[in-house]
Amino acid sequence: MKKITVNTADAACPCKLSALAPEAVAALHTVEQATGAGNDFLGWVNLPSSISEAELADINATAESLRRDCEVVVAIGIGGSYLGAKAVIEALDNAFAAYLPAQAGAPKVLFAGQNIGEDYLAELSSFLADKKFGIIVISKSGTTTEPAIAFRILKEQLERQLGKAEASRRIVAITDEKRGALRTLATSEGYKTFIIPDNVGGRFSVLTPVGLLPIAVAGHDIKALVAGAVEMEELTRSTGEDNPCLQYAEARNALYRDGKKIEILVNYNPKLHFFGEWWKQLYGESEGKDGKGIFPAAVDFSTDLHSMGQWIQEGERTIFETVISVEESAHTTIIPSDNDNLDGLNYIAGKRVDQVNKMAELGTRLAHVDGGVPNIRISLPALEERWLGQLIYFFEKACGISGYMLGVNPFNQPGVEAYKKNMFALLAKPGYEAETEAIQARLK
Ligand code: PA5
């Protein structure tokens, strides 16, 4: 069976990796048997294989109705309620989709609520003024400030443009089954809703309706995406060295223990830029706690070889890289021959652009390994739904294993609350009176 593979030959010596194997297998058992910290957030472990045909059909039917009625669908959400859908859509869409005309039947999926940029919201709102649009509002808690602000503004605009009743038919809410302000609002306005399971944290939720609905609205095959994830779910139950999650978790923990505190996720395909953003959240929020954790960064090569390349090659030797290598491009573009050859490129005339890209990848790997940057390589056959489904589940499972090897609870995120408390105090949110007084005294 074709599948994604992990190569750790340039990461650490095999003896170091095999020394960590028993620990990695124990961490795998902790994930599979739900015996570790945060075990009430393991709903993602068997999620792919538990998604029914009926659930996929409901998501596809909802997507189809939004696609039919809308030129633009705005997915509102932040963090885990945003990054997974954004990553998959960017990976699968035409790179110039944003510049094609908006049309019902093939709507653009835009995002909001992932920032508090006033200009961003004003410009989105004016872009939508003459468009048929719909909204997917996603918030597990139903109370997150950024998406709540965006939803309030865009809901009001949609109701102004269409009337309340028709607007309600173009809004889909994805939230907790029972709790939260969004659930209350969705019930009172009669929105179509989907549930984010209690036991699936935001950053592990891309294979729930949180990711699947926007991905389906963008016209991509969620059945194939889930099928890929199911394949990886089955493959990664193995306790043998054929389990790619064990290979990755062992390699990154061996490197961390050797002083490599920063991991850069590298792609050689610009369509994977947001996959790097999704991965950063998954690993950063899962592992960065208790004074521990590999710092996750992401770069796009060869673009960033012309900005970050110097640091990576010769800066402080505290980094390692994990390269996502896509075996086959979707298109073929041949470099033409030129009679004058003023640019000196005739030596690669007749080659595919991807052949040059692959040599950039190989040359960079050799240079970085020589320069003291260990390299883990994850190969996937192509940028298609099935392989992305495999890749998503692979990273999720490896994250749980790796977090337990690090000795943290990979499924909480207590540190995220600190900025919110200060922001609410500064905005004098009801219930934060004491904090408001304290923060104002501090700022005098
Ligand atoms: O991973 C997480 O839990 C967070 O990134 C959340 O997804 C993010 O804060 C958004 O939360 P909510 O979906 O409750 O609005």
Nearest atom in ligand 1 to the alpha carbon of residue 147 is 15
Query: Residue 2: pLDDT above 90?
Result: no
Q: Is 140 in the pocket of ligand 1 (CB under 6 A)?
A: yes
Q: Model confidence over 109-164: pLDDT tens digits? A: 999 999 999 999 999 999 999 999 999 999 998 889 999 999 999 999 999 999 99
Q: Note the residue count of the chain.
A: 444
Q: What is the structure's pLDDT at 327?
A: 97
Per the annotation, the verdict on 306 as an active-site residue is yes
Residue type, 335: I
Choose which residue among 44, 136, 138, 140 to substitute to test ligand 1 binding: the one with the highest number of ligand atoms within 8 A of its C-beta.
Answer: 140
Q: Model confidence over 335-388: pLDDT tens digits? A: 999 999 999 999 999 999 999 999 999 999 999 999 999 999 999 999 999 999
Nearest atom in ligand 1 to the alpha carbon of residue 78 is 10
* Alpha carbon of 421 to ligand 1 centroid (Å): 16
Q: Measured between alpha carbons, how far is 350 from 383 in angstroms, rounded to an integer?
A: 24
pTM tops 0.75, yes or no: yes
- Residue 93 exposed, middle or buried by CB count within 10 Å (0-12, 13-18, 19+): middle
Residue 183, CA distances (Å) to 41, 43, 59, 111, 336 in order: 21, 21, 18, 21, 57
pLDDT band with cut points at 50, 70 and 90 for residue 100: confident
Per the annotation, the verdict on 321 as an active-site residue is no
Per the annotation, the verdict on 220 as an active-site residue is no
Q: Model confidence over 325-335: pLDDT tens digits? A: 999 999 999 99
Q: Model confidence over 163-213: pLDDT tens digits? A: 999 999 999 999 999 999 999 999 999 999 999 999 999 999 999 999 999
* Alpha carbon of 285 to ligand 1 centroid (Å): 11
Residue whose CA is at the smallest distance from ligand 1 atom 5: 79
Residue whose CA is at the smallest distance from ligand 1 atom 2: 202
* Alpha carbon of 140 to ligand 1 centroid (Å): 7
Q: Return phi, psi of residue 293, to 5°.
A: 120, 140
SS3 200: coil
Residues 204-225, mean pLDDT to the nearest whole number:
98
Q: Is 208 in the pocket of ligand 1 (CB under 6 A)?
A: no
Report the Cα–Cα distance between both ends of the chain, in Å, rounded.
65
* Alpha carbon of 417 to ligand 1 centroid (Å): 11
